[in-house]
Structure 1
């Protein structure tokens, strides 16, 4: 049901039945390597282009999530997925392989929670019994499209972020047996926020106001305090964006502690990896949630988390036309039943 202005509450508590993530060689050297189901030792992944490798990542994550619960692609009623490449072709080509009725999504790096929110809504209202949702990114494919090919060797400023080579997918079902399983309880759908920033090398700063707006709206709509959650984690704000968001939240009066507020783009890599301000990409929050965070919940480390995936809705064309960067954030609350 709709609660407040922009949130849904899922009375039937859709179950995240299984989850899986795949990653590249740089992610294999990071903090969360042990939480990936599949890791590759090269960016090509046996394909003849980076875009095909990108598609391959998502297919692997989907297949791995299905195998964990002995389900097949024929058992899925819908697939919801997206990425950053033109016309979301890696996701659409993966859907061609999977042959599951498909919703192609684009929310930039917020796509992971856009997909989970919509999958939960569909299952909650009996629009489907079993769905699969995911998001992905590939460093070389995305950098080639949005900035410069890595072979160009362009110098990046400290505010820039490193696009994650990774994919995450989850099976969301109406399983009545929710014991000991993570369930989605609510979602807050973000508004597009544009504060006039236009630097594509400072995505975190551009996305911070959108993240803060969605988090503030979530607590207002649901009439709960931040202490309700063990963890509030943003998608890929990086160091600058996370710090800015934290300041904006405290200015709004929300009492969120430092330890409680984290960012997937800061969790995924080690401090000595050259990622400037942190990780980013549609696969960032997807691979961290559908790997590390849900594994932590299963172990009992967290009982309630709010995942807020952020996205910068620019394109190479809009940047060339000197447009500012509109941004968005979507939030989903996940609890152990």
Structure 2
């Protein structure tokens, strides 16, 4: 049941049984590189379009998650995923190859957590036992759709973020052994702070992140200090700074972190940090997942953020509506 804050408490405590994360060549220097399952040295293979490469990344990430979970692809009940390309083309084509009942989702860069929430709801009904959920992005294909082809060589301001090439997927099950569990989720609301600059996404998405975090804390009767970390999806360095200023909690400076701000470390080549639907998926399903598994984190709140614009709405002069979805994860040992 969804409470007045938009928060769901899962009775069955779905498990993240395993994960699969594959990234591109620019991500090999990430502080999280050792946590990624595979690093590809090329954005695409010979005679392969960037969109086809995106699909291949999705397929491989799903295969890794299934293998690590000691399962078989034919035992997967549902595949839930999304990306940033028109009509979810890369995910659709990956679903064609995986041949699993498929639900495509779009919350822009918040799609990873939306996918997990839908998967948990399906597990709660008892109509599914094993679900693949996650999201992806691919730098060259996203740049071509939302900005300019790489060959154009456009220059970006310091507020811009770098779309990651990554696919991250989780294998969700009801009773996995020694796996992190998902206790709650908060469904995001569309929040529009009046921002119009598509090269300053962090400023646009910060308000949606604040709204979801505040409602989740209210819906779970929790305080910020109750968490080891509250990690947002891809606000980047500037957006994270804005979010911290929005909270008056004395713990916000330490507990609030951001996948986009951290994925490329302090490398200024990437301006304000990372973005893309694969950004939160890659960090959540590698580093954060491992920290839960090894006991370094006991309770975390993962908040994926998404800017719901398109090239068309930008050209029509619309502002940038945003959304943030959240899941709360804990480590619970099961015999």
In structure 2, the partner of 1:275 is 270
* Cα pair 2:79 2:100 within 8 Å, conserved: yes
Which stretch has the larger CA shift, 65-74 or 134-143? 65-74
Q: Per the alignment, in what secondary structure is the counterpart of residue 159 of structure 2?
A: coil
* Cα pair 1:119 1:131 within 8 Å, conserved: yes
How far apart in 2 are the matches of 1:5 and 1:298?
29
Could you state the TM-score of these two structures normalised by the residue count of structure 2? 0.97
CA distances 1:196-237 after superposition (whole Å, capped 9, x unpaired): 111000000000000000000101111111122101000000
In structure 1, the partner of 2:307 is 312
Q: Per the alignment, in what secondary structure is the counterpart of residue 237 of structure 2?
A: helix
After superposition, where does 1:252-271 map in structure 2 within 5 Å? 254-271=249-266
How far apart in 2 are the matches of 1:47 and 1:227?
51
Match for residue 201 of structure 1 among 179, 199, 202? 199
After superposition, where does 1:154-303 map in structure 2 within 5 Å? 154-175=154-175, 178=177, 180-250=178-248, 254-303=249-298
CA drift of 1:73 comes to 1.7
Hey, which bits of structure 1, 4+ residues long, moved more than 2 A?
1-5, 254-257
2:92 maps to 1:97: no
Name stretches of at least 5 consecutive residues in structure 1 with no aligned partner.
Answer: none
Gap change, CA 1:184 and 1:316, over 3 Å in 2: same
Q: Per the alignment, in what secondary structure is the counterpart of residue 270 of structure 2?
A: coil
CA drift of 1:303 comes to 1.0
CA drift of 1:255 comes to 4.3
How far apart in 2 are the matches of 1:273 and 1:23?
20
2:325 maps to 1:327: no
CA distances 1:256-314 after superposition (whole Å, capped 9, x unpaired): 33221110012211212511000000000001111111011112211111000000000
Gap change, CA 1:47 and 1:336, over 3 Å in 2: farther
Gap change, CA 1:4 and 1:127, over 3 Å in 2: farther
How far apart in 2 are the matches of 1:288 and 1:232?
13
2:38 maps to 1:38: yes
CA distances 1:170-195 after superposition (whole Å, capped 9, x unpaired): 100112x54x3100000000100011
* Cα pair 1:58 1:134 within 8 Å, conserved: no
How far apart in 2 are the matches of 1:241 and 1:328?
14
* Cα pair 2:240 2:261 within 8 Å, conserved: no
In structure 1, the partner of 2:68 is 68
* Cα pair 1:16 1:172 within 8 Å, conserved: yes
* Cα pair 2:244 2:252 within 8 Å, conserved: no
CA drift of 1:121 comes to 1.4
Q: Per the alignment, in what secondary structure is the counterpart of residue 182 of structure 2?
A: strand
In structure 1, the partner of 2:16 is 16
* Cα pair 1:236 1:281 within 8 Å, conserved: yes
Q: Per the alignment, in what secondary structure is the counterpart of residue 25 of structure 2?
A: coil
How far apart in 2 are the matches of 1:237 and 1:303?
24
Q: Per the alignment, in what secondary structure is the counterpart of residue 323 of structure 1?
A: coil
Q: Per the alignment, in what secondary structure is the counterpart of residue 271 of structure 1?
A: coil
How far apart in 2 are the matches of 1:122 and 1:256?
35
* Cα pair 2:5 2:216 within 8 Å, conserved: no
Q: How many residues align?
A: 332
Gap change, CA 1:184 and 1:226, over 3 Å in 2: same
CA drift of 1:47 comes to 5.3
Could you state the TM-score of these two structures normalised by the residue count of structure 1? 0.96
Q: Per the alignment, in what secondary structure is the counterpart of residue 258 of structure 1?
A: helix
How far apart in 2 are the matches of 1:144 and 1:93?
19
Gap change, CA 1:47 and 1:290, over 3 Å in 2: farther
* Cα pair 2:224 2:255 within 8 Å, conserved: no
Q: Per the alignment, in what secondary structure is the counterpart of residue 204 of structure 1?
A: helix
